[in-house]
Structure 1
Amino acid sequence: MFKDGRNHVSTNSENGHLQGERSESPAPSCISMKSNQSKGEPLKFKDGNHSLLHSNTQGRRTKSTAPSCISMKSDQSKGEPLKFEDGNVSLLHRQDPEPVASYTFQKTFKLNLIKKFQWLNEVIINQGNQTLLNEIYTELYITEGHSGDINKEHEVRKIEGASRRITTEETPIKYNDIFKPLSEEDEPIRAVLMKGIAGIGKTVSVQKFILDWAEGKENQDIHLIFPLPFRELNLMKNQKLSLMKLLHVFFKETKEIKMSNLEKVLFIFDGLDECRFPLDFQNTVRVCDVNESASVPELLINLIKGNLLPSALIWITSRPAAADQIPSECVHRVTEIRGFNDPQKKEYFRKRISDQILANNIITHLKALRSLYIMCHIPVFCWISATVLERMLGEAESGEIPKTLTQMYTHFLIIQTKILREKFPKKQESDEEMLLKLGKLAFQQLMKGNLIFYKEDLRVCGIDVKEAAVYSGVCTNIFREEFGLHQSKVYCFVHLSVQEHLAALYVHLMFIKKKRNVVKKLRLLTVWLKENTISHVHKSAVDKALKCQTGNLDIFLRFLLGFSLQSNHNLLHALVTQTGSCSRNIEKTVRYIKQKISEDLPAKKSINLFHCLNELGDYSLVEEIQRYLKSGTQSELSSTQWSALVFMLLTSPHELEEFDQSKYVSTDMITESLLIKLMPVIAASRKAIIRCDTIRARCLAALFSALRSETSDFRELHLTANTMDMTGNKLNSDIKCLSTLLKNPHCKVKILRLCNCGVSDEDCAALTLALRSNPSHLRELDLSFNNIRDTGVKCLSAVLGNPRCKLETLSLSKCGVTDEGCATLTSALKSNPSHLRELGLSQNNVGDSGVNHLSSVMENPYFKLETLRLRNCGVSDKSCASLWSNPAYLRVLDLSWNNVGDSGLRCLSAVLGNPQCKLETLWLSNCGVSDEGCAALASALKSNPSHLRELDLSSNNVEDWGKRLLSDFKNDKHYKLQELRFDGR
């Protein structure tokens, strides 16, 4: 509430402050250097008391039927305080006697924070209704990264993942744990920088953190929390005052008690991207006394650097593009809010919509529209979609259900203007005039790259302060008059995409109504007459968007082209009187976009142009690719067709289960540039099979890095026969990239096949080092046809012996392994025997000695190996018997191309006749077996007929008699034998 009783809503900061007069009382002196460990001494007061009161009482949730969105912000403090189970509104309960002053201070401070942060307001959709944050809050996906990881790509484009950026190694983290070290050995966390795009939930995470603390649920080792949003600090940028006086201005409670020492307090600076004063960390005067006067920027810099209150914790939130204002040496942890994953999207809609049938219908509708469902990673887009679809599917509104981005946002705009009419029925200005003014503001500031505006910006567009207050449903305004220091006002739109939508609407209406192309300023009348069609406006916008390296005009372009459709013209009739008709010019625009796609643009640019074609209702290129895929023909695709293929696969409503390169292009046609073009599809798939001989290091590095994304659901990677083996080059640098992928706790890769990839024993060491740090996710590892030798096996054994290792399949065919490697391998399996199910050692010089090592681990009842492949391993009849120390688990045995002979087969037959034997497949190709061995085998099968299903005796000395003996088992229905091969048949 403000002094005049007005209520205003903030979209980017809910950190309002308590109103109060400034105090001139002296502030305490600067404290000495303190440790900021997780457990510190309590706040010290002048009276010598050291205790702070903490609450363990949890508030009862207040039921609210008003829909809400976690990303909408409020700086209001209205609403009754949280009530507790015993009916007492007091949050703090004494356990020990302490001074009334400190008790009252803590009680008042926490209660005021609860008043301020327990409610969640939406913009104007539910004016007057409020929802408890605890009822609507949905967990967000937050990762830990590294400082300096700044990316200025358009924020919606980043979320859509059409061009997955290469990220540093990431670790998931809970919002309440951002100041907690990952382990006891790690250094304490003092300063945290949290990045995230607009509307992703930064401010709401701050709000939830504060609320949990004030309610006594989390982080009770923190004594006080001071939220100081940049929007409010902007209004004091020219003031010179001490830190204590600054706190008195924001938190009037601090005037009521004298503090001599501040320990374990948290300062939260929300919205660095909204900061309107320079932060010069190099040339700022040093301030270390809380009673020393300085400018607000100087106070902030000294707090962040640790000169002022060195034991205080610092939390800064920012959009990525502004985060690099904070020097990396001042930040101990960088986190990034990634938004909602798919389960969280569903959870949000089910919390947001009380009617669960309607909520499920909304989820189903969005999932069918991949381009819209992807955008639901952004919480504010979930809110917009829920606002629109709740009315459309709930029959509060009529009309066609939105299927495109333009339709969704236009419906949202219509809903807001309807509510404005109801709230201000005597408003003289028409909706059309309002939209043109707001659209002009949105367009002009978008072209300048501005997302926050001031009174003078509004005045240029013909908007005065009174109008801005009325527009608060569309252009959310934040008045900061309660300080009594400034009369400044700051304005912004609910979200960047809302600004882009209004900007596009302005460009469209300016041409329809006044035949003006505001995108391209034409000075010559002759040029204006020649280019006086909507298609020329579209061409100007396409060219401008393609030239913009950051992609900041991509979504604006989609909206602008979407307004050309007749269906969207019909929607606009609810807002403006004259919408015109552009249908005759759409074909020209479509042709121009297709021409641009054919110019071999970067993937992210071409994909956005396909989104534009969707907005225009043209799917011809995608349909062309679909016809190609159905035909099954293999031919070289054009650049345009490749772009269409990538877009089609990415926007398919079905999950991408497998990317098999051979389905789209043959091995001899694949190029590195083509594979990079396909990278977004590979990263979005669950499985990728890449068989090419032209992959270079840069391409593999990009692949491994793309798969580290927390949004990736990648499970299986096959790389076979690439150039690095054929040219003699090694994987060194690429193994490092792969290792980074594998040791990431996020990594979901379960199957990794690197057949014939030139992996050496040195590479194997780097690879297994990564697996040792994160051994629990991988289930299958195939390193066949690589020169890893016994040294590499020794490295792998260190992973296999780890109890956390869950590897089930290990293939090391033709890897230069000897009996020495078998010894180290079996030693590891003895330490961790319960997981491995398949072991492939074919074409290695294992010999009888190696088999004897394996047999020693097979005696372990916990060793449950089911498949053992020893083809061409130098095995003789001497070691056949030792393989059956524990016959209950083995299902597949391959001894082909070994000197087994009849004597070895007799040993095997003795085990096959054992009722405990469950062997189903036995391969003995080229093993020197004759009729004599077949007779022993037939006798065993008669004793134990119920399991063997496949028997391979090809390339042996078996005559007709031996064949007939065994063929009888295949022809007899009482036996399970289904496949029997002699001489390759």
Structure 2
Amino acid sequence: MHKYQDSSVRMIYEYYKDDLINILKNIDTHAILRQLSEKNVLNAENYMSIANECEGDVFPAKLYQDILELGREAVIGFWECLYALQKDYPNPDLLAVLDEINHTGEHLVHQILLDKHGHLLDPDLKASQNEHKQHLLKKTENLVEHRPPGTTLEPQEFYLNERYVNLIVVSTDEFRERPQNELKQTGAKHEECLKKMKTGLEHIFPNKLFRWNHQSQCVPHAVMVSGVPGIGKTTLVQKFVYDWVTGKHYQRFAFVFFFRFRDLNRLGEVSLEDMILHQYPYLENQIGSILEHPERLLFLFDGLDESIQQMDFRRSKLSNSKVKENLGEIVVSLVRQRLLKGCSIMITSRPTKLTSIDTGVFQRIAEIMGFLYGDRLIYFKKHFGNEELSEKAFQYVHENDTLYTFCYIPSYCWIICTVLSMCFRDQPTINDTMMTSLPKTVTQLFVTFVSNILANHSQTEEGARELLTSIGLMAEHGVMNHMLVFDKRHLESFSVTHDNHLSSCFLMESGQPPELDYTFLHLTLQEFFAALVHFINYSPDKLQKSLNCDSYKDGRAEIFLQFLCGLSDSSSRSMLKSHVGKLSTQAARHVISWIKEKIEKRQTSTSEEEKRALLNVFHCLKENRNKDLASQCLGSRTRFELFDVPLNPIDCSVLSFILDSSEKIEELSLNECRISAEGVRKLLPALHGIKELSLAHNNLHGSGTDLASGIRNNQTLKTLDLSHNNLEGPDISELMEVLPTSQIENLDLSHNKITEESCTDLASGIRNNKTLRKLFLDNNNLEGPHFRDLMTALSTSQIETLCLMKIGLTDEYVPLLVPLSENENLIELDLSSNTISEAALSHIRELIMKSSSLKKIESFQAYNLDNRTFLYILGQKESFHQEWQNQFGFG
């Protein structure tokens, strides 16, 4: 940095603004300020109080700007601080930025200037570029958003920058085998992403997609961006193109060509030139000159999953832009750099599509994870345009587990906000009574959505049933065959009339007449109509065939099945009655019988696959909202176990409903289920009647407050296993505060990150507790000055079994064990796998000889002592005779 001129230092710093603010947000603030202070960049004391008061990006943005205003030396000092911090804080964004600067070297300023100003073009080519940018500006400057149906038949347009909300985009190389519906699956991954943002995932800003990738160690030519339906792939591409047109980024690309696969499906065999001119005919006179410099070209293809072409990314043959080929071959040849070598290409796709293609040819793979908490609130505020309404709506959704979790998907936010807008419309005041009448489940959300549309269109009952039947049959055909895009033939086949104003509220069209394509407003709306048709037009055989789709292992029908079960609840479907007449109660009984049958069949499931299938049926039960049915399905079982089945927050919410429906379940084991802190919060309401709870191997670090709340509200809990959870200081402190008021008899805190600093908290909890009988603290590092507090508390406790195996105990602190001899209840003690030498033998002997109750020391041969010496000690105490005879076979 020192060799750059002042203007270049500033330019580099501003170029990385988004990255630097994100790095500052995700690295320990104290460490950064300490470094900045040591290098005399700024006074840390002045900023610490500001950091404590600010939330989100406010403090990082201020720190970034203040350093910029301090000038050259401060900026260089800041870079030096980041370089020094990378060892202790290997933040992926920090590593990526430093790696890019190191590899780009002297060319960095040239790259920045090229991205800012672009290439020098001849006048004719520049004129074509300007025309092209004007064309794309008109296509991208407005964000089209559907208005609440019934208020207008026209969609509303918003200025893109006013409506756009940032999305999380992260680096990834994971494409799963789709064991469950991809919306829920990515919802779980979204939660993991939030936890990993600080340490494990690289945040990819749009202006970073074609910059140096430190994972693949190159500047990528081919980029894949994946995301579930409705997550914002198309909007992200639109924003990318808009930012290029307006000069915000990537002016190194002289021309950007944007295509949607669904628009290209009918082209047949074409050349690359034909494909470009079909969409951008005004470039005909300059197409040859444009293609002469491939390194200046970027191709964007949106929606790979909507392409009818089969693409094999392992091989390509096309190298001439004038030769006619099918679209798939053109795309593959661009990606593999056989056609227009040096060009760049970005493709978007649903994750499900990527499980079947070779993604190794892409030098960067990123996934859109949707909205963070703050971004969801921003979206609500922009949608309602009213502070009070947006806050009430957001608060309501935030308190509804399922609706809130799905809010990470922008299109779900739109549906939820649209429905709530319908509910709030024409209401003089938004009171508590009205809030309680709002939809509680996803099924009720879509019932409300459709009901409001029907209410705003004069339609006979018979006409509405006929339309919903035809749309529903087409929707189910699509769900069962992974079909999102329909054409005129599909509409004719299922008797869907799209010129009907009502059907246009449910279906969107794209393309140009006569070659139009149709999609539902959202995949989930398609799944809802697929389920609704069975209640409008009930056929036992058809319904049973649809219910059998739960055997599909790709998760395609999970939400569809949940809608079937949700509509089986009479109160959920009642809103539609005034519009379409009575919905089938026979269909409802049929679905409920299926639920009972599935749960009975899987009651004793042992494989992870079967347990996941059982959990999916539980999702259906919750959507049905019938607690009596849930209790009936669970039968007389008293124990529930889901070992090694990943549970996301929605799963935990479902389990909470199921457990709350049954008064008989007393034992709950959720070991190795990867439950997050959010998941624990969802489970808490249902744990009030549990006697034995095991949450081992779940990485519950940071969940102390939630666990403490669960213990406080449970006076039946006797056994609690929290082993292997990375619990540490604050978690233990919270737990020990409520331990005295609990009825816990058996507590396992082994294999955590408890240090001797927590011994005081442990001592406090144990000293004031009268029920604890067994305590496991093994495999924690407890040696230190505060170990004395713990031993003193244990000496007067009710504890009968104490495990202190492998706690880091050495000779220096062995004397602190002697007070345990005063505990008249202590029967078993495990001190094995500690580094105790023969020098400490007298203290162990004193403990044994003084104790009036101790009868067993586990694995004492594990000490670094001669067994005969130990046997001699134990042999002097009559109560130990039988024990060592049993262990060693002689008396």
Which TM bucket (shorter chain)? 0.5 to 0.7
Match of 1:367 in 2: 398
Structure 2 residue 336 is the aligned partner of structure 1 residue 305: yes
Match of 2:65 in 1: none
Cα deviation digits, residues 335-361 of structure 1 (max 9, x gap): 111222333222221222111111111
Checking the alignment, whether the CA contact within 8 Å between 1:196 and 1:202 is kept in structure 2 is yes
Cα deviation digits, residues 539-569 of structure 1 (max 9, x gap): x655x24322222222112212222333234
Match of 1:684 in 2: 679
Map 1:796-945 to 2 at 5 A.
812-813=781-782, 873-874=811-812, 896=816
Q: Give the distance between the partners of 1:298 and 1:646, measured in 2 at CA.
A: 40
Q: Give the distance between the partners of 1:97 and 1:623, measured in 2 at CA.
A: 73
Checking the alignment, whether the CA contact within 8 Å between 1:195 and 1:318 is kept in structure 2 is yes
Structure 2 residue 625 is the aligned partner of structure 1 residue 617: yes
For structure 1, the 5+ residue unaligned runs are: 1-35, 44-50, 56-91, 482-486, 521-539, 629-634, 656-662, 690-694, 719-737, 743-747, 754-779, 785-809, 815-837, 843-868, 876-893, 899-924, 929-954, 956-985
Question: CA shift at 1:501, angstroms?
Answer: 0.5
Structure 2 residue 564 is the aligned partner of structure 1 residue 560: yes
Write the letter of the residue equivalent to 2:444.
Q
Question: CA shift at 1:128, angstroms?
Answer: 4.4
Checking the alignment, whether the CA contact within 8 Å between 2:443 and 2:567 is kept in structure 1 is yes
Write the letter of the residue equivalent to 2:600.
Q
Match of 2:274 in 1: 245
Cα deviation digits, residues 571-594 of structure 1 (max 9, x gap): 112431333546877875664465
Shift of the 112–300 alpha-carbon distance from structure 1 to 2, 3 Å rule, reads: same
Shift of the 308–156 alpha-carbon distance from structure 1 to 2, 3 Å rule, reads: same
Structure 2 residue 581 is the aligned partner of structure 1 residue 577: yes
Structure 2 residue 463 is the aligned partner of structure 1 residue 430: yes
Question: CA shift at 1:205, angstroms?
Answer: 1.0
Write the letter of the residue equivalent to 2:240.
F
Question: What is the DSSP-based 3-state SS (H/G/I as helix, E as strand, rest coil) of the residue aligned with 2:229?
Answer: coil
Q: Give the distance between the partners of 1:131 and 1:813, measured in 2 at CA.
A: 60
Write the letter of the residue equivalent to 2:317.
V
Name which of 462, 467, 472 aligns with 2:495: 462
Question: What is the DSSP-based 3-state SS (H/G/I as helix, E as strand, rest coil) of the residue aligned with 2:537?
Answer: helix
Match of 2:476 in 1: 443
Map 1:104-253 to 2 at 5 A.
104-123=127-146, 125=148, 127-146=154-173, 149=176, 151=178, 153-161=180-188, 170-182=201-213, 186-236=217-267, 238-241=268-271, 243-253=272-282
Shift of the 213–322 alpha-carbon distance from structure 1 to 2, 3 Å rule, reads: same
Name which of 614, 623, 645 aligns with 1:606: 614
Name which of 507, 526, 531 aligns with 1:499: 526
Question: What is the DSSP-based 3-state SS (H/G/I as helix, E as strand, rest coil) of the residue aligned with 1:595?
Answer: helix
Question: What is the DSSP-based 3-state SS (H/G/I as helix, E as strand, rest coil) of the residue aligned with 2:247?
Answer: coil
Question: What is the DSSP-based 3-state SS (H/G/I as helix, E as strand, rest coil) of the residue aligned with 2:145?
Answer: coil
Match of 1:518 in 2: 542
Question: CA shift at 1:386, angstroms?
Answer: 0.3
Question: What is the DSSP-based 3-state SS (H/G/I as helix, E as strand, rest coil) of the residue aligned with 1:228?
Answer: strand
Shift of the 54–98 alpha-carbon distance from structure 1 to 2, 3 Å rule, reads: same
Name which of 358, 382, 386 aligns with 1:355: 386
Cα deviation digits, residues 913-941 of structure 1 (max 9, x gap): xxxxxxxxxxxx9999xxxxxxxxxxxxx
For structure 2, the 5+ residue unaligned runs are: 1-102, 429-433, 658-664, 685-693, 708-723, 733-751, 757-778, 789-806, 819-839, 844-849, 851-891
Shift of the 98–561 alpha-carbon distance from structure 1 to 2, 3 Å rule, reads: closer
Cα deviation digits, residues 245-278 of structure 1 (max 9, x gap): 3222222342243433232321111100011112
Question: CA shift at 1:457, angstroms?
Answer: 2.1
Q: Give the distance between the partners of 1:411 and 1:268, measured in 2 at CA.
A: 37
Question: What is the DSSP-based 3-state SS (H/G/I as helix, E as strand, rest coil) of the residue aligned with 2:348?
Answer: strand
Cα deviation digits, residues 519-554 of structure 1 (max 9, x gap): 23xxxxxxxxxxxxxxxxxxx655x24322222222
Cα deviation digits, residues 924-969 of structure 1 (max 9, x gap): x9999xxxxxxxxxxxxxxxxxxxxxxxxxx9xxxxxxxxxxxxxx
Q: Give the distance between the partners of 2:453 and 2:317, measured in 1 at CA.
A: 48
Q: Which of these two proteins has the greater Rg computed from alpha carbons?
A: 1
Shift of the 176–419 alpha-carbon distance from structure 1 to 2, 3 Å rule, reads: farther
Shift of the 413–246 alpha-carbon distance from structure 1 to 2, 3 Å rule, reads: same
Write the letter of the residue equivalent to 1:285.
K
Q: Give the distance between the partners of 1:506 and 1:268, measured in 2 at CA.
A: 38
Write the letter of the residue equivalent to 1:548.
Y
Question: CA shift at 1:675, angstroms?
Answer: 2.0
Name which of 271, 274, 279 aligns with 2:306: 274
After superposition, the CA RMSD in angstroms is: 5.2
Question: What is the DSSP-based 3-state SS (H/G/I as helix, E as strand, rest coil) of the residue aligned with 1:268?
Answer: strand
Shift of the 717–371 alpha-carbon distance from structure 1 to 2, 3 Å rule, reads: closer
Match of 1:651 in 2: 653
Q: Give the distance between the partners of 1:191 and 1:253, measured in 2 at CA.
A: 27
Checking the alignment, whether the CA contact within 8 Å between 1:607 and 1:647 is kept in structure 2 is no
Write the letter of the residue equivalent to 1:440.
L
Give aligned-pair identity as a percent.
Answer: 22
Checking the alignment, whether the CA contact within 8 Å between 2:317 and 2:338 is kept in structure 1 is no
Name which of 439, 449, 455 aligns with 1:402: 439
Shift of the 261–714 alpha-carbon distance from structure 1 to 2, 3 Å rule, reads: farther
TM-score by length of 1: 0.53
Checking the alignment, whether the CA contact within 8 Å between 2:226 and 2:367 is kept in structure 1 is yes
Shift of the 232–637 alpha-carbon distance from structure 1 to 2, 3 Å rule, reads: same
Question: CA shift at 1:497, angstroms?
Answer: 1.0
Checking the alignment, whether the CA contact within 8 Å between 1:124 and 1:472 is kept in structure 2 is no
Question: CA shift at 1:812, angstroms?
Answer: 4.4
Question: What is the DSSP-based 3-state SS (H/G/I as helix, E as strand, rest coil) of the residue aligned with 1:650?
Answer: helix
Question: CA shift at 1:384, angstroms?
Answer: 0.6
Checking the alignment, whether the CA contact within 8 Å between 2:531 and 2:563 is kept in structure 1 is yes
Question: What is the DSSP-based 3-state SS (H/G/I as helix, E as strand, rest coil) of the residue aligned with 1:217?
Answer: coil
Cα deviation digits, residues 796-854 of structure 1 (max 9, x gap): xxxxxxxxxxxxxx97457xxxxxxxxxxxxxxxxxxxxxxx99899xxxxxxxxxxxx
Shift of the 681–448 alpha-carbon distance from structure 1 to 2, 3 Å rule, reads: same
TM-score by length of 2: 0.58
Name which of 240, 264, 272 aligns with 2:296: 264
Question: What is the DSSP-based 3-state SS (H/G/I as helix, E as strand, rest coil) of the residue aligned with 1:307?
Answer: coil
Question: CA shift at 1:679, angstroms?
Answer: 4.0
Shift of the 642–295 alpha-carbon distance from structure 1 to 2, 3 Å rule, reads: closer
Map 1:35-54 to 2 at 5 A.
none
Write the letter of the residue equivalent to 1:378.
I
Higher RCO (Cα < 8 Å, 6 or more apart): 1
Q: Give the distance between the partners of 2:553 and 2:640, measured in 1 at CA.
A: 24
Q: Give the distance between the partners of 1:299 and 1:587, measured in 2 at CA.
A: 50
Shift of the 840–372 alpha-carbon distance from structure 1 to 2, 3 Å rule, reads: same
Match of 1:474 in 2: 506
Shift of the 390–232 alpha-carbon distance from structure 1 to 2, 3 Å rule, reads: same
Write the letter of the residue equivalent to 2:206.
Y
Question: What is the DSSP-based 3-state SS (H/G/I as helix, E as strand, rest coil) of the residue aligned with 1:401?
Answer: coil
Shift of the 622–568 alpha-carbon distance from structure 1 to 2, 3 Å rule, reads: closer
Q: Give the distance between the partners of 2:595 and 2:178, measured in 1 at CA.
A: 31
Q: Give the distance between the partners of 2:254 and 2:120, measured in 1 at CA.
A: 18
| Length, aligned pairs only | 607
Match of 1:285 in 2: 317
Match of 1:296 in 2: 327
Match of 1:392 in 2: 423
Checking the alignment, whether the CA contact within 8 Å between 1:367 and 1:653 is kept in structure 2 is no
